[in-house]
Every structure is written in structure tokens, then in C-alpha cells.
Amino acid sequence: MKLKDKVAIITGGGRGIGREIALAFAREGADVVVSGRQRDVLEQTANEIEGFGGRPVVSVTDVGDEFQVIKMVETANESFGRIDILVNNAGIAGPTSPLSNLSRESWDEVMRVNLTSAFLCARAVIPQMVEQRSGKIINISSVAGKMAYALRTPYAASKWGMLGLSASLAQELGSHNIQVNAICPGPTSGDRMTAVIKGRATELGISVEEMERTYVEGTALKRMVDPTHIAAAVVFLCSDAGNSITGEALEISGGYAL
């Protein structure tokens, strides 16, 4: 029980990587607040957690909205009395398109959900973590935050921004015994990756199968990343074993390189 008696907020906790993190945290003894915009998927995750004895709380929250974020944090405190861990996982894939064809609205929405939300959530929990002199903040970035990613410019820019946010916060908060790290997944199996592959295949005029092979062949392991492996790394960083790790950007990508 690596996270026994810890309280965690996980944004985007209803599906994909966020769901796997929520389940892994609960299995390790944490009480979890699963946050997202779709109540039905959040409740499905909560039901799974309850099935093995966990204590989940569902918070329907648009984490790009400052006042909804404040309410989410209030809900966590009302339910469990403290917050030990924040996982900023909420994000959208955004458009697959040349930059010259993008609208200002689509750019702004990717930044709002993928980057501004992490700022808002971190800002909301930091005072409490400083007061208790402990805390963990994990920002889910991407290998796209470490490389050029043509046709996915808003997404890449938001994920590069997550790395700057993480490194800077680690320096700001280190003296308060708060660790801040980023996780950079590579191509990860699931619905979002399937949609990204389809969109990129369409834009490049190739088959979905060829596009998928391109992503897989770009990894050293020649396979997609399993989201449970990402969850396991987040558990490690949020456990006592990760207490001396901060300001890092850990790739879990199967050795992905372009």
C-alpha cells in the first residue's frame, strides 16, 4: 500500500491514462477525487474503485474554468480533509492540421485544457501543500513536449509548456518539501491514440494501418505503450520512494524517437 492514507486529485480521471492512474492509486490505498467533464465515465471509474474497497469522489469539473477548479479542491477537502497529490492529466488531442489552417479558437482551446488547467489546479492546491509541508504534483506531458511534431503544433506547444511549468514549479516549491515532476508518454494504446492516428492518416493521405505502423516502428520496443505502465510510474513518483525526485521529465515511450 504505497499510497496509504494519501488523498489525490486526478484530472481527466474517467478514461485512458487518467483512469488507470485513479485505479492504481486506489489499489495502493489512496483516496481519490476523479475529475472530468463527463459524469458517466467518471462514475464508471468510481464504481470500479468501489468494487475493490476504495473511496472515490466524483467531481464534474471543467478544469479550464477557474471557479470550477476552486470548487473541485473544496470538494476534495470537504470529503477527505487534505490533499497530498495532484495529477494534472486532463487534456485534449486538438486538431491535426497545418498551422496556417488553424483557427484562433482551436488553438486557445488546446492551451486552455492542456496547459492553463494545470496552472489553475496547481495554484489552487499549492497553499495547502505549503502549509502541510508536503505534496506531489505530477503533470502529464508527452514526448511531443520534447520534439517537433508537424501538423500537431497546438498539442506540442501545450506539452512543451507543461515541461516548463513543471521544472519551474519544482524550483519554487522544493524548499517546502513539495515534489513536482512531469511524465512524457509516447504512443499509448487507447481511444485517443486511435483518433490521432486516423486524423494524421487523413491529413497525410495514407492508410490508417500505415500510419499506425509509423508510430509503432518509431519505438524501440515496436509496440504501443500500455497505459498501466504510465500509472505505475506515477505511483512510484508519488510514493515515499520518489521523495528525492523533482523537476524531472520522465519518458515512458517505449523508446520513441523520430
The full set of domain ranges for the chain reads 7-186+226-252
Instruction: Please determine, looking at this structure, whether the domain spanning 7-186+226-252 carries the CATH number 3.40.640.10.
Output: no
Rounded mean pLDDT of the chain? 97
Backbone angles phi, psi at 65, to 5 degrees: -110, 120
Question: pTM of this prediction?
Answer: 0.96
Catalytic residue among 149, 155, 215, 256: 155
Contacts of 188 (CB under 8 A, 6+ apart): 16, 17, 224, 225, 226, 227, 230
Q: Mean of the pLDDT values across residues 173-177?
A: 98
Decide if 155 is catalytic: yes
Which residues are within 8 A (CB) of 214 and not within 5 positions of it... i.e. 6 or more apart? none
Query: Which strands form 135-140's sheet, in the order they lie side by side?
Result: 56-60, 31-36, 7-11, 85-88, 135-140, 178-185, 249-252
Residue 139 has pLDDT above 70, yes or no: yes
Q: How many CB atoms are located within 10 Å of the residue 22 CB?
A: 30
Helix (H, G, I), strand (E, B) or coil at 246: coil
CA distances from 94 to 64, 105, 152 (A): 15, 11, 8
Q: Looking at residue 250, what is its pLDDT?
A: 97
Question: What value does the mean pLDDT take over residues 163-191?
Answer: 97
Question: For residue 135, what pLDDT band results from cuts at 50, 70 and 90?
Answer: very high
The pLDDT of residue 257: 84
What cell numbers appear for 186 in the block? Answer: 509516447
pLDDT at residue 63 in the model: 97
E strands, 26-152, are 31-36, 56-60, 85-88, 135-140
Tell the burial category of 209 from Cβ atoms under 10 Å away from its Cβ (0-12, 13-18, 19+): exposed
Query: Which pLDDT belongs to residue 5?
Result: 94
Given pLDDT bands bounded at 50, 70 and 90, which one contains residue 258?
Answer: low
